[in-house]
Amino acid sequence: MHRRIEDLAGLVARVLTTRRATIALAEPLEQEDWVAQSMPDASPVKWHLAHTTWFFERFVLGALGFEPVDPRNDYLFNSYYESVGKRVERAKRGLLTRPTAREVLAYRRTIDERLAALEGSPRLAEVGAALELGLHHEEQHQELLLTDVKHLLSENPLAPAYRRGHSPAPRPAPQLAWRDFAGGVAEIGHRGSAFSFDNERPRHKVYLAPFRIATRLVTAGEYRAFVASGGYRKPELWLSEGWAWIQAGAHAAPLYWRDGMHFTLDGERAIDDAEPVTHVTYYEADAFARWAGARLPTEAEWEHAAADATPGGFVEDGHLHPRVAAEGFTQMLGDAWEWTASAYAPYPGFAPLEGAFGEYNGKFMVSQMVLRGGSCATPRGHARTTYRNFFPPSAAWQFSGIRLAKDGA
Amino acid sequence: MHRRIEDLAGLVARVLTTRRATIALAEPLEQEDWVAQSMPDASPVKWHLAHTTWFFERFVLGALGFEPVDPRNDYLFNSYYESVGKRVERAKRGLLTRPTAREVLAYRRTIDERLAALEGSPRLAEVGAALELGLHHEEQHQELLLTDVKHLLSENPLAPAYRRGHSPAPRPAPQLAWRDFAGGVAEIGHRGSAFSFDNERPRHKVYLAPFRIATRLVTAGEYRAFVASGGYRKPELWLSEGWAWIQAGAHAAPLYWRDGMHFTLDGERAIDDAEPVTHVTYYEADAFARWAGARLPTEAEWEHAAADATPGGFVEDGHLHPRVAAEGFTQMLGDAWEWTASAYAPYPGFAPLEGAFGEYNGKFMVSQMVLRGGSCATPRGHARTTYRNFFPPSAAWQFSGIRLAKDGA
Amino acid sequence: MHRRIEDLAGLVARVLTTRRATIALAEPLEQEDWVAQSMPDASPVKWHLAHTTWFFERFVLGALGFEPVDPRNDYLFNSYYESVGKRVERAKRGLLTRPTAREVLAYRRTIDERLAALEGSPRLAEVGAALELGLHHEEQHQELLLTDVKHLLSENPLAPAYRRGHSPAPRPAPQLAWRDFAGGVAEIGHRGSAFSFDNERPRHKVYLAPFRIATRLVTAGEYRAFVASGGYRKPELWLSEGWAWIQAGAHAAPLYWRDGMHFTLDGERAIDDAEPVTHVTYYEADAFARWAGARLPTEAEWEHAAADATPGGFVEDGHLHPRVAAEGFTQMLGDAWEWTASAYAPYPGFAPLEGAFGEYNGKFMVSQMVLRGGSCATPRGHARTTYRNFFPPSAAWQFSGIRLAKDGA
Amino acid sequence: MHRRIEDLAGLVARVLTTRRATIALAEPLEQEDWVAQSMPDASPVKWHLAHTTWFFERFVLGALGFEPVDPRNDYLFNSYYESVGKRVERAKRGLLTRPTAREVLAYRRTIDERLAALEGSPRLAEVGAALELGLHHEEQHQELLLTDVKHLLSENPLAPAYRRGHSPAPRPAPQLAWRDFAGGVAEIGHRGSAFSFDNERPRHKVYLAPFRIATRLVTAGEYRAFVASGGYRKPELWLSEGWAWIQAGAHAAPLYWRDGMHFTLDGERAIDDAEPVTHVTYYEADAFARWAGARLPTEAEWEHAAADATPGGFVEDGHLHPRVAAEGFTQMLGDAWEWTASAYAPYPGFAPLEGAFGEYNGKFMVSQMVLRGGSCATPRGHARTTYRNFFPPSAAWQFSGIRLAKDGA
């Protein structure tokens, strides 16, 4: 990657601050929780801590000629970079009881010290772009660490909490309203020199038909009405693949709803009807929208509309689920990832980064749907309106929610 | 479905002609070939013959109050209409040794007689749209009958031919050239009152960046060069899901190439380098394009470009593979289904048909890619430039080929 | 195989008679029924007709230097002889639409003519043993043809009958009684020069504790009582593997009982309480016995007891289920295969036949249970008291039933 | 269970000593190693520690009316007792990050204190048999803990050692010789009032043909010769199911041999040709025997012969693989579990224990083979010549080896 970023000042310090925040996220857990892997899609906490460290070692320090701390780390902690070489099978990350947590933390410290020593180095500019990518990569894994841990704890019959938080006083959600957009030729995609992933570029024109978009996310209460109306038993509401998913898994509610309770990072609690519904698959989001006489927005509609929204979201520490919506056109950033009707595909003129970084986003552009907006588990400052998250339609372990749209006049 | 079609004259006759053509396609086969099912995606010939008949019985004659020939046919020959009810599991259609071929042919005759009797009926207009849909449905199954049989015969160690054809004299393919389009706001989608499927509507505006599109399909010779260059062993050329598909299946060539030979409906023969390559998955089409320094066109680009192309394709009886390209901008219709870079999704303003017909297309709009153009197995007159075919990215048993595109100036 | 059999007189004629009987079994079926394969364990009728023919061609005519009719038949119709070479995957026999039925029948005729010409040949003695094995092999496939067809027809929602028979007048089963045996050193296994399979030899001593054995098979009525008592919902009655089999398949009755009806080769009919229960797995036989306060006999107990039994069984043409028991110690031969408590293992001193015939029985001696007695589908004369049939404990598509035993005084 | 055991003196003390030994086995490991589960058949160390504790709590203390420490432990730590109720799915034991190791150790201490307090209690006799069973159960899990950890560590690309031991000086294995037995009526099975599992009883007569049995186990060097001779590529040497196992898994050597090295609890080291081969499946043991012109002994032969053998085996701490054989008829106890040719089945007159303990052994009596002799990982004093271990034929993660036998004169 040869992009030279303009502003190196403070970059190393921001990297180190971000990396300390990762450790802080792991601390409320028991040591045992760091090891286990609850499904192939999720990784152990310890692996997240090691992999993000390896990312800096391999792509920043490696580019500067540092000897690796242990050459076997390429095999242990490479996620999916074919250009780097072979690696531990994804589904077997939970078997890596060694290196131990203590060793992984020592590895982090060593790499952090080497990164700290780059401050003021004449060679910093050479790796500025990789450092910056590493920072955003670290932030992505902060969110994954939380959602992967949530999945792990949810599998435990004891339903342990990640961390007990202080819940805000309950309040009702505002009435759902619609925001109208006239459409026409619009522009989406990232512009300017600030950081973005390659998949957000280039900024380009799209043509939008008139559309309406809901002013807030669908609430748990609204979703409960869908469930209560027999939504999961009516094939006419579902995509064919979604209906097959229901049959195969006997699904009848979102992932973490069970017996009328909601498993959260705070432990099990009653479902709060005013909160946004989260942890739904694309199939569920799509079926709910059809039931509601609406549809999901495309990612272009979403991004176009986002310019008008009140900056929102991003719950504070200690409250690890999305907040009840405020009045106005809101919840577009930092509440729940919003399934869009758009499959994940390259933008016109898309060019992946060179080298291994070209594998970061581009090679996943099939069989996945785009989600927008960032969730309550997304680090503040990480999300932006051009950000394109993507998951297969059956994924539900992220804080994925629903915003409705309709064709306009 | 309440659309009243304008021109009923000759519709019944066209239906009956089309249905005779279906039988003609089954005739070169042995009786045994009518029964077997080689994979869940493919259906037995006998099932195609019965299902298309049931479609007319259920949706045309049923709407007019006819008693069913046998009420159990709803269970036996319903494909995927949830609103009609339960049905034989897709993967078990090959176990339906009864009703026998003789009985299925008798069923066809009975229904054809009832359809023939509609000519001149005052109630014809009520079912005109259903009759017309049934006609196009029958044509779709004609193509599937051929591709399903091809798959079945390919599984036989004896490699039997469907029908020995007369091959044209070999000739080279013209040089690949590029056709430039300036882009801007364009319109795609079906317009006018002639028949189309619901997924082709409504006609709507899109914004296209400048692009170039290849004047002909990729040839088998070009694809052989990709294979010979080690294309199937280089992960950097593949989508991540495609690379996993290679590993899981040890794939190293298109579906019907084996040991340097090409299994065709004509039996095994040498690979003709000048012919379009066919029976590739989306993964292979995408990887080839990347190797060639190009990409696949979006469906909007394809449809926009198609207006300029020479009407082509549709090989005559007795030659059941795509012909070598002529000079010019060609092979856009009737040669091979062309994988596009577009996931199958609703057009802005899409409204599925009412009732069971609403299940025809709309419920498949996830996890599939759009193919355009029609193949050598598509009935002449069935394909059109707005036609949207769709298959999962791993499907290869259709005559699916590759047309390259590039970003324009 | 070098065993010279003593009595060649009439052997060729018996082979040909037996082979005509195979064809007669296929005749009540429709042509379509000859093609399909309903599960990997079952083979198509057409394949049975071809494989048994190939067996004679390969092992009898081949040993005499005949050119093969078509060398590809080794690949198409070899069942499991590794020493002969590669073959069509077992689960794909239903895809062999070619050779056609007509061609397979022609193949049979050609081989039958060559076999007929052996009569009086000076070289007949060389292949006498192979001819005799082929005859018994043909008889085994006669039974498999019936049970495989039964399974295929049972998968058809139309529940077609193989052949309508004339049912005897219903009558009650006699009271179940017990026959006592004192045990001690006994001999089992085949003796003498008459034909037996290698797995029945050598005759050898066993030590038997005193035991009792039931005078007849368990009836459908007795089994219904087990079902009605909640037998399939009580884990304490089941082997652990059997309980897992119930959970995985939601089993609640024998294979062909559904909605209170019994699917038979005669079509669906009411369950006859007096008939022996058939089509049970080993798990079910074992659980029933536990529920009844009994156990299954070992194969040594069974064979020892069989000497005392009235020769019985073997229903006549046109009645294709086991008959109601007569009074006395009966139903030991020709009614239902009786699951024994013995795993299939070599007898002390067992020596498999030489060459390919060594694969006939010996290589299956793990993970299977022995069944004794022959069923109503076994050709008369094929079963004998030393005969060892074997199937995995989950198999139920044979006419497998239950005889109870108990420890003696 | 109502059996009153005769000698209660010292029983509680022996239980507590045994339980301390379990902890000692877990101590060389890192905390992380306690959590992970490498396959459904293996359990995490922490789970072993908790399950064995639960066994005493549930069946000893529970019978005396103690309140459970936490009623949820029945769900968490029940292994397979259907009569106790539902439980965590076997394959998900590695997801039980809670209770933590610290909590599980506290649970052990609590239960150990309650058990200690039984000393001198007037009610001790009531639970004597359960206590004794618990002790032997604890010993079984000591061995499983080691073999499960070995499997886990073997999955780690770093190939970590469980514990570095002091290897004895290498020495050659003695020549393999044969021991002859005349056969006839013999007795096997446990006799007397000392502890045995229910499956070892009752002692009963068997008839043995004359046989010979090898004086020591097959060595790694002998097995290497089998491998080098192409043993894994010759179907004629294998049971059909074993050959399928080779194809499905591309097996070419015993479980822990890779690239000429042997993964042991001591880490990777060169294969010691003189050591017994271990970690073979039944398929491999059977194929090796056939290659060697021999066979496996039946369990009756083995037990009959064992009376003549020198008491051997049971390596000392710090040497965790079987020792090289001494001269004489040896290695019958405490070296490697020896696959027998006998399927696991009830002895004549077998009666399972009453209540939940009846599930301990009896319900597994299908689809498994008996192994005899105990291994280097078996606690000294746990094995005995009547002991019947059992595993499916594909299991290799125990220290399973091979002793040859032959028919006698």
Residue D222 contacts residue D277 (beta carbons within 8 Å): yes
Residue B402 contacts residue B277 (beta carbons within 8 Å): yes
Q: Which amino acid is at C295?
A: R
Q: Which residue has the tokens 């003021």?
A: A120
C106: phi then psi, degrees, rounded to nearest 5: -65, -40
Token pair recorded at residue D276? 């017994």
Q: Do A366 and B239 touch (CB under 8 A)?
A: yes
- Which helix (H) or strand (E) segment holds residue B116: the answer is helix B101-116
DSSP state of C263: E
Residue A235 contacts residue A243 (beta carbons within 8 Å): yes
Question: Taking the mean position of all CA atoms in its chain, how far away is CA B41?
Answer: 13
Question: Reduced to 3 states, what is the DSSP secondary structure of residue D263?
Answer: strand
Residue C245 contacts residue C251 (beta carbons within 8 Å): yes
pLDDT > 90? residue D166: no
Residue A248 contacts residue A144 (beta carbons within 8 Å): no
- Give the CA distances from residue C64 to residues C61, C131, C138, in Å, rounded to whole numbers and listed in that order: 5, 12, 20
Closest C-alpha among A398, A394, A383, A285 to residue A341? A285
Which residue among C243, C349, C366 sits closest to D393, beta carbon to beta carbon? C366
Rounded Cα gap, residues B29 and B17, in angstroms: 20
Q: Which residue has the tokens 């057409």?
A: C46
Which residue among D185, D283, D349 sits closest to C407, beta carbon to beta carbon? D349
Q: What is the 3-state secondary structure (H, E, C) of A173-241?
A: CCCCCEEEECCEEEEECCCCCCCCCHHHCCCEEEEECCEEEECCCCEHHHHHHHHHCCHHHCHHHCCHH
Q: Which residues pair with B369 in a beta bridge?
A: B343, B391
Rounded Cα gap, residues C397 and C254, in angstroms: 10
Handedness of CA A385, A390, A396, A397 (dihedral sign): negative
Report the gap between the CA of A256 and the closest CA in chain D (Å): 17
Handedness of CA B380, B384, B385, B387 (dihedral sign): negative
Q: Which residue has the tokens 């079994």?
A: C25
Which residue among D83, D295, D343 sits closest to C343, beta carbon to beta carbon? D343
- Mean pLDDT calculated for residue range A221-246: 98
Question: Taking the mean position of all CA atoms in its chain, how far away is CA D139?
Answer: 10
Question: Reduced to 3 states, what is the DSSP secondary structure of residue D391?
Answer: strand
pLDDT > 90? residue A351: yes
Rounded Cα gap, residues A9 and A388, in angstroms: 27
Per-residue pLDDT of chain C (409 residues; tens, 9 = 90+): 445 565 788 999 999 999 999 999 999 999 999 999 999 999 999 999 999 999 999 999 999 999 999 999 999 999 999 999 999 999 999 999 999 999 999 999 999 999 999 998 999 999 999 999 999 999 999 999 999 999 999 999 999 999 987 777 889 999 999 999 999 999 999 999 899 999 999 999 999 999 999 999 999 999 999 999 999 999 999 999 999 999 999 999 999 999 989 999 999 999 999 999 999 999 999 999 999 999 999 999 999 999 888 766 665 555 688 899 999 999 999 999 999 999 999 999 999 999 999 999 999 999 999 999 999 999 988 999 999 999 999 999 999 999 999 999 8
Rounded Cα gap, residues D127 and D125, in angstroms: 5
Chain B residues with CB under 8 Å of C101 CB are: 31-32
Rounded Cα gap, residues B128 and B3, in angstroms: 8
A370: phi then psi, degrees, rounded to nearest 5: -85, 135
Pairs of residues, one from chain A and one from chain B, whose beta carbons lie less than 8 Å apart: 90
Question: Reduced to 3 states, what is the DSSP secondary structure of residue B62?
Answer: helix
Rounded Cα gap, residues D79 and C244, in angstroms: 14
Question: Residues with Cβ < 8 Å from A268, sequence gap 6 or more?
Answer: A159, A261, A262
DSSP state of A334: S
D187-219 residue pLDDT tens = 999 999 899 999 999 999 999 999 999 999 999
CB atoms within 10 A of CB C168: 11
- Give the CA distances from residue D106 to residues A312, D25, D69, D100, D110, in Å, rounded to whole numbers and listed in that order: 46, 17, 11, 10, 6
pLDDT > 50? residue D1: no
- Predicted local confidence at residue B134, as pLDDT: 98
Rounded Cα gap, residues A392 and A367, in angstroms: 6
Q: Which residues pair with A282 in a beta bridge?
A: none
Residue A265 contacts residue A161 (beta carbons within 8 Å): yes
Pairs of residues, one from chain C and one from chain D, whose beta carbons lie less than 8 Å apart: 89
- Which helix (H) or strand (E) segment holds residue D145: the answer is helix D128-154
> Considering just the CA atoms, what is the radius of gyration of chain C in Å?
21
Closest C-alpha among A323, A339, A336 to residue A375? A336
Closest C-alpha among D177, D253, D182 to residue D217? D177
Chain C residues with CB under 8 Å of D204 CB are: 209
Q: Do D407 and C349 touch (CB under 8 A)?
A: yes
Residue of A nearest to B83 (CA): A236
- Predicted local confidence at residue D110, as pLDDT: 98
Task: Tell whether pTM > 0.95.
Answer: yes
DSSP letter string, A122-161: TTGGGGHHHHHHHHHHHHHHHHHHHHHHHHHHHTSTT---
The average confidence (pLDDT) of chain B is 95
Question: Taking the mean position of all CA atoms in its chain, how far away is CA D377?
Answer: 8
E-strand stretches of B230-353: 257-258, 261-264, 267-270, 337-343
Q: Which residue has the higher pLDDT, B112 or B308?
A: B112
Residue D397 contacts residue D41 (beta carbons within 8 Å): yes
Q: Which of C207, C282, C354 would you mutate first to test chain D, the one with the most D CBs within 10 A? A: C207
Q: Which residues pair with D258 in a beta bridge?
A: D261
Does B touch A (3+ CB pairs < 8 Å)? yes
Chain D: list its partners (3+ Cβ pairs within 8 Å). Answer: A, C
pLDDT > 70? residue B291: yes
DSSP state of C337: E
Q: Do A32 and D46 touch (CB under 8 A)?
A: yes
Chain D residues with CB under 8 Å of C359 CB are: 236
Chain D residues with CB under 8 Å of A46 CB are: 32
Q: Which amino acid is at B193?
A: S
Which residue among B75, B94, B99 sits closest to C36, beta carbon to beta carbon? B94
- Predicted local confidence at residue C313, as pLDDT: 64
D373-402 residue pLDDT tens = 999 999 988 999 999 999 999 999 999 999
ipTM: 0.96
